[in-house]
Amino acid sequence: MLAYRYFEAGTNEPLRRCPQCNHALIEEGSVCLALSVGGRVVEVNARLDEQGWLVDTADSAVARGHHAGSYCGGCGALLLDMADEDQSEG
């Protein structure tokens, strides 16, 4: 099972706000989650928790390996381009 955690670039501080536009990423729907499902990309609303973990979808799509990217819901910037990412298997 996969999980993603985002940190402020170069630190161990969990990402809570977009470094580009300062959009709060811990609010419901503040992250656009791109999922690769059945050969197509589907976008759903998501968020990060207080520790920077990407909150998975109700059907655990991220944990099942369908994560294609996480974007700021405010400015559309790819989180990986602005922050450090930790991909864990559990």
Q: For the chain, give every domain's residue range.
A: 2-89
Question: pTM value?
Answer: 0.85
The pLDDT score that the predictor gives to residue 82 is 83
**For residues 80 and 65, is the Cβ–Cβ distance under 8 A?**
no
Contact present, 14 and 52 (Cβ < 8 Å): yes
Q: In this structure, are residues 54 and 6 in contact, taking their beta carbons and an 8 Å threshold? A: yes
- What is the residue type of 12? N
Pairing of strands 31-37, 40-46: antiparallel
pLDDT tens for the chain, 90 residues long, are: 678 889 998 999 999 999 999 999 999 999 999 999 888 999 999 999 999 999 988 788 887 888 888 999 999 999 988 888 787 765
Which pLDDT score, from 0 to 100, does residue 66 have? 85
